Structure 1
């Protein structure tokens, strides 16, 4: 039976990779996963999710959750894979296809062992991690109701197959995405005194916010402030009415996150006042840092070593992960699994070695079973 599951999830991985779907558009992926689970006799929970799903295995008051994300990215694939993406301009460049396949395999293995489970397993296939924020939809749909702990996984091209990255505490940064509109008064470029120049204000602001990290946050507490888009003007001889800016703030500690956002807002207000423009700030995305539970980390490490995995310390990343939204509610552990050294995540040449998937399924199923056996 296990050999059947191994081959089955490999073929499902090929399908998911070949048919990637963007955040909140994972309709066929959801349909496929639902059919796979129902065929195995796994119960699909009724909820209001448009994409993604929640399923249940086992019985009992103790509830543990296992989560995979399922969305892809707006990237044109540049690989020689036979199963490369057929959806133009869309690619599973972050490995969510392997996440879904590995958790699907774990679900099938847990279903086979359902009669011996000492509790309930909630299987979560989450939409829109790349949006990010699909975790909120799962939470609002009741995905964490009665859950005491949750485990999640992520592909890691920094590790060879057979290696797991496990760490205590923060491993991915908090993410803030901002959008700013500075409004002034347009005029001829030859007569700037007749207008209010929002582009000049924007230029000063972009330079000023670079001091947030260097002069406001304790050295050694990782933080990044990046303005990544500035959109202004229609002609070389016109001072525009308005300017749009977008970018991101990344932090680890709650203190650094608070300082960075407060200082950012203060600088924006001061810049607007100094240059006579109005400033409209929107925090488009607000996701906290992942924060791995120490006890879960130690437990997961022991299980991994018992199964002869090589266990390494997960490196910290300034990248974000909305698994952290679950960790705000319950204890959680985010685990990296080695997919073979290669191109990084979010790269057109990113690949996952299919050999990494089934061992990860076995590990996850054993992790869940042993967790439920604990008193």
Structure 2
């Protein structure tokens, strides 16, 4: 543990919270983070850390240490959600109707900037370079891929990310070896039958029956075609069927999602979903077409990286701070950075019933225990310091 880093972050805690609250009041959706980018840029200017803006939003900044060495990237996402804030008693509640930082990205940026402030204080001790990636558009799984395309990972040896996490108790931090987040793909299926009058069903092919049968049978893929020790989630979240009470539907449109931790399983299940759709439609004399859109890759934490994170947690915050949050089938496009370099992803606990911060991410009542932010900022900085100044990997 570097004491200068710890003390700097403690000294900057009020600034960090104030910056997060400003961002919270002015949320911007994916690819619209223009003010947010400007605010981050102003802070980097104050620190004298050179950066370049990415198109259309986002920044990449490099802090060169006093000694040659590797490059470690630290990532924070920037975008808010199209969610109406329901926290009416907050002095810093969203000022944008229908928009809210309901996933904690405002805190991620604030923690990473505070980590940068601490690392500037010890830059002469750093054996290498710290790259700060402020990434837009995480919520639609497009931003990380685009940042990689714009050179965010060029020359990077290792990457580390953090997410504030309301399901983990405040004061606890988790970084598990192996599976952390699942892949998150989108399924769209269109069934076509033959419409007609509700009084003459024998002259029709009912798309509502086809779609309903498909949904009812779909879970057999999970329960009978996949290993029960290999988690898979298939959800149909949207169905649009029919036009009128006495008209038998000719068309049905379904949308859903597939979540896996294993890419081989992912491909197998996707193929099975399409087969189930086409064969179910054929039973009733209809047809089916599926569009499958790959979203995020699974986030799989590198073993050496996760163990170094765990060591950093215990050294900086004590053994009691180390927590092991089970993998989630939520998606995280941090995985695209891991396609370019080894790395890991940590969850900083923010759940505190006394402060009403246990609401689920993406809920209108979501908020964070701001006292946890100093832990996230320090973990960013201490991990970068430890990675650059060790020879284990």
Q: TM-score of the superposition, structure 2-length normalised?
A: 0.90
Q: Which residue of 1 aligns with 2:57?
A: 51
Q: Residues of 2 paired with 1:357 and 1:4: CA distance?
A: 13
SS at match of 1:200: helix
Q: Residues of 2 paired with 1:45 and 1:32: CA distance?
A: 14
Q: Which residue of 2 aligns with 1:318?
A: 329
Q: Residues of 2 paired with 1:338 and 1:66: CA distance?
A: 18
Q: Residues of 2 paired with 1:188 and 1:37: CA distance?
A: 66
8 A contact 2:9–2:377 mirrored in 1: no
Confirm or deny that 1:65 pairs with 2:81: no
Instruction: Give the drift of 1:248.
Output: 0.8
8 A contact 2:72–2:131 mirrored in 1: yes
Report matched runs for 1:92-131 at 5 Å. 92-131=101-140
Instruction: Give the drift of 1:4.
Output: 5.5
Tell me, which stretches of 5 or more residues in structure 1 are unaligned?
none
Confirm or deny that 1:266 pairs with 2:254: no
Instruction: Give the drift of 1:202.
Output: 1.0
Q: Residues of 2 paired with 1:104 and 1:361: CA distance?
A: 8
Q: Which residue of 1 aligns with 2:206?
A: 197
Q: Residues of 1 paired with 2:288 and 2:143: CA distance?
A: 29
**Which stretch of structure 1 is more off in the superposition, 172-181 or 267-276?**
267-276
Confirm or deny that 1:329 pairs with 2:333: no
SS at match of 1:62: strand
Q: Residues of 1 paired with 2:100 and 2:33: CA distance?
A: 13
The one-character-per-residue Cα deviations of 1:113-140 (angstroms, maximum 9, x if unpaired) are 2233211111111111111232111111
Residue 350 (structure 1) aligned to one of 350, 355, 366: 366
8 A contact 1:160–1:338 mirrored in 2: yes
Report matched runs for 1:158-177 at 5 Å. 158-177=167-186
The one-character-per-residue Cα deviations of 1:178-235 (angstroms, maximum 9, x if unpaired) are 1112223322222233333222211111111111111011112211111110012221
Q: Residues of 1 paired with 2:330 and 2:222: CA distance?
A: 17
Q: Residues of 2 paired with 1:241 and 1:2: CA distance?
A: 62
Q: Residues of 1 paired with 2:248 and 2:113: CA distance?
A: 56
Q: Which residue of 1 aligns with 2:4?
A: none
In structure 2, do the counterparts of structure 1 residues 297 and 31 end up closer, same or farther at CA, with 3 Å as the change threshold? same
Q: Which residue of 2 aligns with 1:23?
A: 30
Q: Residues of 1 paired with 2:348 and 2:295: CA distance?
A: 26
Report matched runs for 1:1-375 at 5 Å. 2=9, 5-47=12-54, 49-58=55-64, 60=68, 62-79=70-87, 80-309=89-318, 310-341=321-352, 342-375=358-391
Q: Residues of 2 paired with 1:162 and 1:190: CA distance?
A: 64
Q: Which residue of 1 aligns with 2:3?
A: none
Tell me, which stretches of 5 or more residues in structure 2 are unaligned?
1-7, 353-357
Q: TM-score of the superposition, structure 1-length normalised?
A: 0.94
Q: Residues of 1 paired with 2:167 and 2:276: CA distance?
A: 38
Q: Residues of 1 paired with 2:312 and 2:9: CA distance?
A: 19
Q: Residues of 1 paired with 2:53 and 2:111: CA distance?
A: 23
Instruction: Give the drift of 1:2.
Output: 5.0
CA RMSD, Structure 1 to Structure 2 (Å)? 1.8
Q: Residues of 1 paired with 2:249 and 2:61: CA distance?
A: 53
**Which stretch of structure 1 is more off in the superposition, 350-359 or 330-339?**
350-359
**Which stretch of structure 1 is more off in the superposition, 183-192 or 22-31?**
183-192
8 A contact 1:231–1:245 mirrored in 2: yes
Q: Residues of 2 paired with 1:281 and 1:61: CA distance?
A: 49
Q: Residues of 2 paired with 1:340 and 1:194: CA distance?
A: 57
